[in-house]
Amino acid sequence: MLERLPFFRRTLPYQMFDRQRFGLEANSAKILERIYHKGQALAWDGQQLLGDLVEQHGVPDLDRDRKLALGRLFAVIMWGELAAWKVSAALAEELDAFEAKMAATSQAHDEARHFYVMHDYLTLLDAMPDRLDRGAETLLSEVIGADHLAKKLLGMQLMVEPIALSLFHVVRRLNIEPVLTGLMPYYERDEARHVALGIKYLPAMLKTMTTRERIELYAFQLRLVTCEMWSSFGMMRDLKTLGVDPRMMANVGRAKQLSALEMLLRELNVDSDLPLQVLDRYGLALLEATIPEGGPLRQRLRRVAQVALRGATVTEAGIEFTH
């Protein structure tokens, strides 16, 4: 019912203002509506901004190795923006709740801007790769091709966007290339609003889902964690070339993802953090397997088992193991 309705059932949604019908709390509805108006007030002119930054810092340029590495990493962002554009446009069309439709429409507008600005930037840098690494390609295809809107919403807003936010944060802090550094705060500000759509609307969506659909959603989430770790494995070499510690990057991403998922559980009034713990331990074990801290293979495998069994605490600086 949340995915595509048959064509003949499409009609004017006279009930779209009845938020209770969609399981939407008054407070959440207000926040969703504000996402649209904030999006309009804070919309920036991508062509103007990129032009101003080039005028200020010159046409972006780097030595060959760093240029190729930055190109490959930000091509993942560029295609990720297209995926986010497609997902938010699907949400804008399919969601009937008025406030959620408004928020998704505003997001689609933002994502279109993120996409073309990144495309123009990578073209200026002359660093546009033909295609993405298999891991990242699989991750984005999983989200675009998901068979349920809840999967798209969870996958994009709460699993992929926090990772993109981490990359923006790290790249801005390291000031790898000044034009890109100048663009990042604008992207970061918009993306933070998009995470809010997931947190505020997913609980309403979950209320209308069957147990089977919820279990499928959880399984989908585990699959995404696997794809994410696989794609970070592919990005490791490029991060290193740019002077970013891949483990630090993966940890910042996980911390952001976990805090988004924690907020979601709070919205759902779930006291137990067991689902998060399972997901987190699974992600950590994969992290140990794909981006190990080093040491002989046996030691690394022992660490995988240790993390899976005991869990660990995530901090921005790294992982603290709980023994």
Positions in the binding site for Fe ion (CB under 5 A)? 81, 84, 111, 114, 191, 194
Helix/strand/coil for 293? coil
Least distance in angstroms from the C-beta of 81 to Fe ion: 5
Minimum distance between the CB of residue 128 and Fe ion, rounded to whole angstroms? 18
Say which residues have a Cβ less than 8 Å from residue 169's Cβ, sequence separation at least 6: 184, 188, 252
Distance CA 188, CA 155 (A): 18
Nearer to Fe ion, 132 or 236 (CB): 132
In the complex, the smallest distance separating the C-beta of residue 152 from Fe ion, rounded to whole angstroms, is: 13
CB of 296 to Fe ion, least distance (A): 41
C-alpha to C-alpha distances, 120 to 34, 82, 85, 292, nearest whole angstrom: 30, 14, 17, 35
SS3 17: helix
8 Å CB contact between 34 and 105: no
Kindly state the smallest distance separating residue 247's Cβ from Fe ion, in Å.
25
Going from the C-alpha of 265 to that of each of 153, 191, 262, 268, the distances in angstroms are 15, 20, 5, 5
DSSP 4: P
In the complex, the smallest distance separating the C-beta of residue 117 from Fe ion, rounded to whole angstroms, is 10
Specify the DSSP element, H or E, that contains 319.
strand 318-321
Rounded Cα distance, 254 and 283, in Å: 8
For tokens 């798209």, the residue is: 152
Q: How far is the CB of 20 from Fe ion (least distance, A)?
A: 28
Count of helices and strands (H, E) across the chain: 12, 2
Given a contact cutoff of 8 angstroms between Cβ atoms, the answer to whether 2 and 205 are in contact is yes
182-190: list long-range contacts, CB under 8 Å, 24+ apart. Answer: 182/49, 182/53, 182/56, 182/57, 183/49, 183/50, 183/53, 183/117, 183/121, 186/44, 186/49, 187/114, 189/42, 190/39, 190/42, 190/110, 190/114
- Cβ-based nearer residue to Fe ion, 110 or 280: 110
Q: Identify which of residues 177 and 191 has a Cβ nearer to Fe ion in the complex.
A: 191
CB 186 to Fe ion: min, Å? 10
CB-wise, 194 or 247, nearer to Fe ion?
194
Q: Which residue, 84 or 136, is less far from Fe ion as judged by CB? A: 84
Q: Which is nearer to Fe ion, 157 or 226 (CB)?
A: 157
* Separation of first and last alpha carbons in the chain: 46
The least distance separating Fe ion from the CB of residue 194, rounded to whole angstroms, comes to: 4
Kindly tell me which of 191 and 280 has the beta carbon lying closer to Fe ion: 191
The nearer residue to Fe ion, 197 or 249, going by C-beta atoms, is 197
Nearest to Fe ion of 118, 285 (CB atom): 118
